[in-house]
Chains A and B, each alone.
Chain A
């Protein structure tokens, strides 16, 4: 099991433990506010945007072109460390990963 920490804009956080599922699925299953995952992980809605903590960003596989183009339309402007959480799989080497949830994605 690996853990993921979702940090809300007000600083409060939720820690969840899971294996091999996407950060979006884990968030939705644990009712983490601000991660909607409207399309269910089909990479076609841009409602599971997160800002990955800088220390962790480098450990992730690079974004695909489709993910890049959807980041253009998320509710909040993306940054260098933005990801769609449906595209990040929670594996053991990511144990403890910290992601920040955008304030306007509600």
Chain B
């Protein structure tokens, strides 16, 4: 194990305070330069009393490409980790993020068939409708909170539409999602189980019967038909609906909110954003926002046996937290990594992870931000900061809770 003055000064990665003022990029830079991995002690949700902080791009790609050696079943993101392999004791047993091949492959394939590139391209018209509805609402506001009025609403309405949840239930399902997301941050499996149970009752008693009467091209219809054909179980279908909501909402709202904060706080980033969209089109600019922001800061894997990776000896059942937020500024991969540069030519970042668990909704997330940029540009909406932005309280998501803005055009 590596010890030394430098690693002793690394802040506590289990304490949200460490992330309160921003992602500790300076500490992550020191970890990337230190051979091996940094051991972060914690009794919470670990088998061996802590986790390894993995910060280099190449090490994360290697770990994520080998699910036999680095498993997801014990938990995809600390502190939802050290979970039992017994479904009776593990409410997250049917969550796609907590599965390994071959079970993961079968569920993901069903989801991919409803979320593949050509399908998502067809989402453009109705995502645009939602964005326009949101922008028409803020058109009449001089001062407002961009997080509440824009960043939260767009992804929650988009995901509800993907699920096929009727408009009158939209807010309820968003509230349940937030509750389960909060519960997952506390390592309290019973609290997680309670929220999930409530949503299962809703799916079983209301949404599924409705979709069976009136099948549509939404995810719920696709999943229940796959369950009828025996390709996946009913529980896997329901928990995929929950995962969709949690993953699609929290990270996309972070991307939308943080990108606007960066534009408002830095004239240089604002200039590069507008020039980049003109010269390169929006996609490269969005990729750079994703790299820079990295909404989900890490994911976790558990070693299935003693092994050596990244020059580090790890033991069976050791937890590894893969810090995408650090890897996305790895100078071995990205030139001038701390600079916002949409013109960069390097490989895609790890904002969505890599390997079999790479974010299945990545095309949809990018589509939402692209349409938002396009529709704001059409209306020539410009804002200025109208108070101090407030970050969230999380070791997991690069959250922003409040972004007060005022319209300038």
Contact = CB atoms under 8 A, between A and B. Distances in A.
A45 B358 contact: yes
Interface stretch (B113-121, B150-158, B207-215): B113-121
A43 interface: yes
Interface stretch (A9-17, A55-63, A68-76, A91-99): A68-76
A46 B354 contact: no
Given A39-B358, A75-B121, A45 B105 contact: no
A47 B113 contact: no
B118 A73 contact: yes
B65 interface: yes
Given A43-B105, A44-B109, A75-B121, A38 B358 contact: yes
A105 interface: yes
Nearest to A38: B358
Contacts of B108: 39, 42, 44
Contacts of B118: 46, 72-77
Given A66-B109, A69-B109, A40 B354 contact: yes
Interface in B105-132: 105, 108-109, 112-113, 115-119, 121
A79 to B, nearest CB: 14
Contacts of B116: 45-46, 70, 72-74
B356 interface: yes
B113 A72 contact: yes
Given A42-B101, A44-B108, A70 B113 contact: yes
Contacts, number: 63
Contacts of A39: 108, 112, 355-356, 358
B117 A105 contact: yes
Nearest to B101: A42
A42 B358 CA distance: 11
Contacts of B354: 40
A55 B117 CA distance: 28
Nearest to A76: B118
Contacts of A46: 112, 116-118
Contacts of A31: 347
Contacts of A105: 117
Contact of B105 (A42, A74, A104): A42
Contacts of B105: 42-44
A36 to B, nearest CB: 8
Given A42-B101, A43-B105, A73 B355 contact: no
B356 A73 contact: no
Contact of B109 (A43, A47, A74, A76): A43
A86 B105 CA distance: 14
Given A42-B101, A43-B105, A73 B65 contact: no
Interface of A: 31, 38-40, 42-47, 66, 69-70, 72-77, 104-105
Interface of B: 64-65, 101, 104-105, 108-109, 112-113, 115-119, 121, 347, 354-356, 358, 360, 362
- 6 closest Cβ pairs, A-B complex: A73-B116, A75-B117, A44-B108, A42-B356, A40-B355, A46-B116
24 contacts: A38-B358, A39-B108, A40-B65, A40-B354, A40-B356, A42-B105, A42-B355, A42-B356, A44-B112, A46-B112, A46-B116, A46-B117, A66-B109, A69-B113, A70-B116, A73-B113, A73-B117, A73-B119, A74-B116, A74-B117, A74-B118, A75-B118, A75-B121, A76-B118
Given A44-B112, A45-B116, 12 more contacts: A39-B355, A40-B64, A42-B104, A43-B105, A46-B118, A47-B117, A66-B109, A70-B116, A72-B116, A72-B118, A73-B113, A74-B117
